[in-house]
Chains A and B, each alone.
Chain A
């Protein structure tokens, strides 16, 4: 019997992340059980060995990201998945992946914190940790889905960005989106852009593993392919050897930033919804963007000119898009399930052009459309 194409499935966010990862070419997963991310581990433990991939449950999250980086270094696309407490443990090796420029994807299904916090309740409180969690000055890429389709698409894009820019990419999904189910049509015939890291074309003796180029992203040789080189978490020169020379350190750190900053346009994913004539614009992400969309529709029915800027890329911050709505709206409302993490960024780029209001919820429940509507009425 011929299989129906496209396949219509009722998937959970975590399941869609798995499908996206496999489609992107992920063949190695190392993780440690943690709610609400465990489904990703469980499903990959079944599916990866079916496609000659590897699943391993490590002794903790530090080990998980270590194994993921090791696997990626020999050329296998790799991922791990965790939640807040595990994400805290991963910060050490996340910085290692940044400085050694080894691609990998880290999923963080956000739950309430600090510490053990609320294991089964949603939050959006790791936004700043995704940006600044690991020590040292570094750029970051973090994506945030709000629908099941986006879980699939953004996981693929997370792998693409990590391969393209040789950097770890964080997928910040909240507990609501991770566990919610929606219909999704998946097809193997569907054209999906898959990016694989650029390998060196020069012979091994000419290979300079961390040499700059216009893209700011050096070609990456897999360990075992004949290009023997040194990988270290110490600040290194273009050959990969430790250095303490200021004239080598400075261009290296600046290149790490440049390879991300000169590609802001490529990295920014989001959606303007009814913003053209909006008096008030809501800026939201993750599960809150779903509530916000409902609010916009309700408001429009009541002839209130309200729009939504949905952020799918949280880092690097979507400054251009945010500035656009700050200039065109009488007021901007940022609802989020934390005490104000993205709103800090919105206020930072606002520079007095408009009023910025926040709706903050930290009780382990989702922000409802009504709560956003109440704020709109208050400021309209």
Chain B
């Protein structure tokens, strides 16, 4: 507890008016806790961290923490982060987005930031719904579920954010849940240590909107669902396809090395100046 208090004093903004905007029981608070603990372990100073977000419940996260914080337009957080990182590569850039922000309106920016291997970490809070606007379905709302705009039933199929990230070229992809906070700390710490595009997908819950309309219970019950449906990737390796039906893998899904964009671009500069031949 004493440790936590120290971190709160160190990283939360003292001049920001609390209370925060999130509903009681929201998963974002736990995710913010993991983020702060993981950043603290990286050894970066607060001046070196740039925390970028888009629009939505998750978009409100940076305002509470004492970094260089940038709350951008809906879906565009990664584009602003790309500019920040390339113009000043010494900064550590972390981007937090929701599922609608990252893979609906921002889907194109997401796959291209991954493809370019821009050196930043994207933390995506996936609660399967647009929470702030009142619970409309998102690209990660499962088939057959209800939302404010699929009151009959959702007939669209959901994206897997992590699989999308792997295919698009992210060098590190981890998936955790709000329930498994320790795992989340570790995934974020590992992601921050990578040089290149890293992704941490966090399975979260929106009991206020998604949970209510689908009768999934309280925040606690929805977190218990996370506990019961998460399968560590190591365990999943020895499981049959049928056994994994309806479950999701957690842990490190991909960890590979590839020179980050800014390193590649240094070569472009040397070619342009003629100090190295193409």
Contact = CB atoms under 8 A, between A and B. Distances in A.
Contacts of A75: 87-88
A292 interface: no
Nearest to A27: B87
Contacts of A64: 79
A223 B50 contact: yes
Contact of B83 (A28, A49, A50, A239): A28
Interface stretch (A159-167, A227-235, A261-269): A227-235
Nearest to A63: B79
A56 interface: yes
B87 A231 contact: no
A240 to B, nearest CB: 9
B265 A76 contact: no
What's the dominant secondary structure at chain B's contact region?
A: helix
Contacts of B67: 228
B47 A226 contact: yes
Contact of B84 (A27, A223, A232, A242): A223
Interface string B156-171: 0000000000000000
Nearest to B16: A241
From B87, B91, B108, B272, residue with most partner A Cβ within 10 Å: B87
Contacts of B62: 230
Interface stretch (B69-77, B187-195, B236-244): B69-77
B68 A229 contact: yes
A230 B15 CA distance: 11
Contact of A71 (B17, B84, B112): B84
A74 B91 contact: yes
Given A70-B70, A230-B62, A224 B48 contact: yes
Interface size class of B (residues with CB under 8 A): 35 or more
A211 B72 CA distance: 21
A200 to B, nearest CB: 14
- Decide if the interface of chain A is mainly helix, strand, loop or mixed: mixed
Given A54-B265, A228-B47, A230-B62, A60 B108 contact: yes
Given A228-B46, A234-B71, A28 B271 contact: no
22 contacts: A28-B87, A49-B271, A49-B272, A54-B265, A56-B82, A59-B108, A67-B79, A67-B82, A70-B82, A70-B87, A75-B88, A92-B73, A96-B72, A224-B90, A225-B47, A226-B47, A231-B69, A231-B70, A231-B71, A232-B71, A241-B17, A241-B63
Given A225-B47, A234-B71, 14 more contacts: A46-B272, A49-B265, A54-B265, A64-B79, A66-B72, A67-B82, A67-B83, A69-B80, A73-B84, A74-B91, A223-B68, A224-B48, A224-B90, A239-B15
Interface of B: 15-17, 46-48, 50, 52, 62-63, 66-73, 76, 79-88, 90-91, 108-109, 112, 265, 268-269, 271-273
